Amino acid sequence: LKIIDKINEHKQKGQPFFSFEYFPPKTSEGVQNLFDRLGRMLLFDPLFIDITWGAGGSTSALTLEIAEQAQTVYGLETMMHLTCTNMPVEQIKFALDRAQQLGVRNILALRGDPPRGEEWKKIEGGFSYAADLVKYIRENYGDYFGICVAGYPEGHSDCTSKEDDIKHLKTKVDNGADIIITQLFYDTDIFIDFVKKCREAGINVPIIPGIMPIQTYAGFKRMTTLSKTFVPQEINDALEPIKDNDEEVKKYGVQLCIEMSKKLLDFGVEGLHFYTLNLERSVRKVLKGLELISPDKISPYLPWAQSAAGNRL
Ligand code: FAD
* Tens of pLDDT, residues 252-264: 999 999 999 999 9
Q: Strand, helix or coil at 298?
A: coil
In ligand 1, the atom with minimum distance to the C-alpha of 164 is 11
Cβ of 150 closer than 6 Å to ligand 1, yes or no, is yes
Q: Whose CA is nearest to atom 52 of ligand 1?
A: 150
Q: How far apart are CA 298 and CA 10, in angstroms?
A: 14
Whether this model's pTM surpasses 0.90: yes
Q: Is the pLDDT of residue 300 over 90?
A: no
Q: CA nearest 280: which of 290, 288, 272?
A: 288
Asked if the model's pLDDT at residue 307 lies above 70, the reply is: no
Q: Is the ipTM of this complex over 0.90?
A: yes
Q: Is 207 in the pocket of ligand 1 (CB under 6 A)?
A: no
Query: 179, 3 in Cβ contact below 8 A?
Result: yes
Q: Which positions are annotated as active-site residues? A: 21
Q: If you average pLDDT over every residue of the chain, what do you get?
A: 93
Distance 147 CA to ligand 1 centre (A): 14
Give me the mean pLDDT over the 173-183 stretch: 98
91 in Cβ contact with 57 (< 8 Å): yes
298 pLDDT higher than 90: no
Q: Which stretches does DSSP call E strand in 118-277? A: 146-151, 179-182, 207-208, 210-211, 271-275
* Ligand 1 near 5 CB (within 6 A): no
Residue 115 CA to ligand 1 centre (angstroms): 14
Say how many Å lie between the CA of residue 127 and the centre of ligand 1.
Answer: 12
pLDDT band at 305 (very low <50, low <70, confident <90, very high): low
* Those residues with Cβ within 8 angstroms of residue 104's Cβ, 6 or more apart along the chain or in another chain: 67, 68, 71, 78, 79, 80
Residue 299 has a pLDDT of: 53
- Residue 272, pLDDT > 70, answer yes
